[in-house]
A and B are shown apart, each in its own frame.
Chain A
Amino acid sequence: MSNLETLKQDLAARFRIDNYQLNQAFGDQVLVIPKEDLLSVLSFFKQTDRFDFLMDVCGVHYPERAKPFEVVYHLFSSKDGSRLRIKVALSEGESIDSALPVWKSADWFEREAYDMFGIVFKGHPNLRRLLTHHQFVGHPLRKDYEADRQQHCTSSLPIHFDNEPGSPGDVLNEKYVPLNIGPSHPAMHGTLRVMAELDGETIVRAQPEIGYLHRCFEKMAETHPYNQVIPYTDRLNYCSAPMNNVGYCKTVERLLGVEIPPRAQAMRVILCELSRIIDHIISVGTGGVDLGALTAFFHLFTYREKVYNLFEKLCGARLTVALTRVGGMAQDAPEGWFEDVQAFCKEMRVAVDEISKMLLDNKIFIKRTQGVAPVKAADAIAWGYTGPMLRACGVGLDLRKTTPYYGYDALNFDVPVGTNGDIYDRYLVRIEEMRQSIRIIEQVCRNVPGGDFTIRDRGIVLPEKKDVYGNIEGLMNHFMLVIKGLRPPVGEVYDATEVANGELGFYLVSDGSANPYRLKVRPPCFAIYQSFPSVIKGWMIADAIATIASMNLIAGELDR
């Protein structure tokens, strides 16, 4: 509470805080302010270095309120891992100052809020649709928009660019060659589109277009009960599905105020680290493919298949596993599974060394990546970079160390950091992280706690099938939970986990019903990708391909 008090005093010294509300809810610090003060409060926090990251900006729609819209900002301090949620209420048609002058990372988040809710951010230079197509009418995340009302798109937008001060916007310069890459292009991973203007091979300006895989995750979450949202989370970052399950369930569990048993925690840690390894396999493997190195990809895929086998043993599915449940795991690990995991770790250790030799020591690979399109640490923080991309710039931020969960603080592992923030360092960090993940898994596997794999709260977890079919009490519990649904208390919570790409945050608003009222995902690569135009400016077109590959953009979480 002292933290909250000092925050209050600091604010009182600078602002008239009679109409501010500062409180603590479910462990989160929440500050409600009038919209006029937003920019000055944000810059106050940034200038005093209280919070260095603007992690997320999103909207929420409450149609029954006098001011039906709420814009929610999530600030984060990398020094002590503290977070602050700032909320501003808006009435219909009212606009709010753009946070762009203070934090560059607000760019796409504000565009998304405009797209989804029609909230107007004053001073934002590119307030146009981001995720839905250009012919879309209305704002889909408003509560009066039906989830299944499709609007057909009959054309693709021609090459267009962001408006920036001093830039001609959509007007193309005749001196330069306009170039469109994607969305159907091998280096664009199927769903990204990059438009560029070239002077020779040099990129004068570039512009990504996203939304080609906007599958309406957040609307789907609002129309499904809590446990049925889990399969949807699988498909956010589908390269490392279990991590998304864990992140989501952890958020709901925090709102419910339950702690999962040690065995479930251990299993979740193992799954997370296995997923981190296979995610980096895809990232490093396809990164090599995009630069013309096919061998590493095929070699690494053998090991990805081995992890699929481990997942299959656990649940029967390979890729989209939906392994966790709110309150623990779906089922216990089969006999001998932990030994299998340890055996895999031994093989993987060798494989990582091989890959390291194959790629990181490869002359062509080094020439294509070293010193190419580097990002400075300060810029990376301003853009909201997290994960390996941030650590490659030399910032050792890892949520597993800063705000440990599931016993990560008791485990022995290092956080690798780069020095230059270039493409080579990003792969260097990823490959070292694979080694660290193996270390973590081996430590956890050596002494897995016994006990149950889930909590047994009747209002949260379904009873076991033998009880459902075996006794009347189990049957009634099952019936009640299925009919009534899992109902967390009214409230809201933001929770983040360190996934393969960085910070995956879930902002969950509950109105006490069986479905989430609002579930906002803060995807790590979304914040990273918005920096692409400025990162790639002045580099060659071939460097753009290498940069996109190194950002590890997973369309599922990028477009949601």
Chain B
Amino acid sequence: MANTNQQDIILNPSLGAPAMTGTQTVNDMSRSFALTTRLDAIVAWGRKNALWPMPYGTACCGIELMSVMGPKYDLARFGAEVVRFSPRQSDLLLVAGTITEKMAPVLVRIYRQMLEPKYVLSMGACASSGGFYRAYHVLQGCDKVIPVDVYVPGCPPTPEAVLDGVMTLQRMIGKNQPRPWRDNWKAPQYE
């Protein structure tokens, strides 16, 4: 308890050095507690409205993703216009298109290079499940190798659907929703 008080005084010199009473300790605790939650909320608010997407467009969905970024649909309205092609500068991985077996190690590598906190949106049927390519060289969904937060169905999804997916992700971030799929993710054993 004494520790908390000391910190409080250091943090808030205007409080001076009052006599220690039980009520005040509780008050201070509640204040610092309230401050923590507000910080979380404000950070989440910032995060959700300043997503920096990394477009991992491999196929047809990549072309539709261009529409999402383009003049008519304009993802910039949702605070996600700063498209980065470097994973180290982005926090939202947009997997747009079929991920083949050959591509899987590359995708994992890109994902691991991204900084925390990071999110993944899987755009389209192929990225989500392999789509109608139940085939010898197609990974049956990118969630086989990386944790996915939002799946957007469609082949390819309309730009509206992608915007909806991004807004869903924003709600998740805004509420600090737990992401067990992310926490329990184990990186595939690659050479």
Contact = CB atoms under 8 A, between A and B. Distances in A.
Interface string B69-92: 011100000000000010100000
Contacts of A186: 85
A231 B135 CA distance: 15
A212 B133 contact: no
A147 B105 CA distance: 22
B190 A298 contact: no
A379 B184 CA distance: 55
B67 A305 contact: yes
A153 interface: yes
Most central of A151, A189, A302, A319 by chain B CB within 10 Å? A319
Given A191-B58, A298-B70, A319-B63, A211 B136 contact: no
B110 A184 contact: yes
Contact of B136 (A147, A155, A156, A308): A147
B137 interface: yes
A155 B60 contact: no
A525 to B, nearest CB: 15
A220 B155 CA distance: 17
Contacts of B137: 131-133, 136, 140, 150, 214-216
Contacts of B156: 319-320
Contacts of B186: none
Contacts of A189: 57, 62
A220 B87 CA distance: 33
Contacts of A556: 59-60
Interface in A418-459: none
Most central of B101, B155, B158 by chain A CB within 10 Å? B101
B70 A220 contact: no
A154 interface: yes
A190 interface: yes
Contacts of B63: 238-239, 282, 319
A493 to B, nearest CB: 25
Nearest to A559: B100
B128 to A, nearest CB: 15
Interface in A185-208: 185-186, 189-191
A183 B104 CA distance: 11
A215 B138 CA distance: 6
A220 B135 contact: yes
Given A216-B136, A231-B132, A302-B72, A133 B85 contact: no
A239 B64 CA distance: 10
Given A216-B138, A231-B132, A305-B67, A150 B101 contact: yes
Nearest to B126: A215
A154 B134 contact: no
A234 B101 CA distance: 22
A83 B132 CA distance: 34
A235 interface: yes
A153 B135 contact: no
Interface string A116-133: 000000000000000111
B136 A212 contact: no
Interface in A279-305: 282, 298-299, 301-302, 304-305
A153 B64 contact: no
Contact of B60 (A152, A154, A212, A235): A235
Nearest to B96: A190
Interface residues of A, number: 51
Nearest to A153: B101
B152 to A, nearest CB: 14
B136 A235 contact: no
A149 interface: yes
A155 B66 contact: no
Contacts of B97: 190, 213
A555 B99 CA distance: 12
A136 B136 CA distance: 10
Contacts of B60: 234-235, 238, 319-320, 556
A212 B105 contact: no
Most central of B56, B97, B100 by chain A CB within 10 Å? B100
A319 B98 CA distance: 16
Contacts of B101: 133, 136, 150-153
Given A133-B101, A185-B85, A149 B136 contact: yes
B17 interface: no
Nearest to A232: B132
A555 B58 contact: yes
Contacts of A215: 59, 98, 100, 126, 133, 135, 137-138
Nearest to B87: A184
Contact of B102 (A140, A153, A184, A298): A153
A230 to B, nearest CB: 12
A62 interface: no
A133 B100 CA distance: 9
Contacts of A361: none
B64 A156 contact: no
A304 to B, nearest CB: 8
B140 interface: yes
Contact of A190 (B56, B87, B105): B56
B105 A156 contact: yes
Contacts of B66: 282, 301
Contact of B105 (A154, A298, A318): A154
A132 B189 CA distance: 20
Interface in A202-249: 211-216, 219-220, 231-232, 234-235, 238-239
B155 A320 contact: yes
A381 to B, nearest CB: 31
Contacts of B132: 220, 231-232
A302 B190 contact: no
Contacts of B67: 301, 304-305, 308, 318
A152 B144 CA distance: 11
Closest 10 CB pairs of A and B: A216-B135, A238-B60, A133-B102, A301-B70, A186-B85, A155-B191, A190-B58, A153-B101, A190-B57, A305-B72
Given A132-B136, A301-B71, 6 more contacts: A132-B102, A190-B58, A190-B62, A212-B58, A215-B135, A216-B133
5 contacts: A191-B59, A215-B138, A301-B66, A305-B72, A319-B60
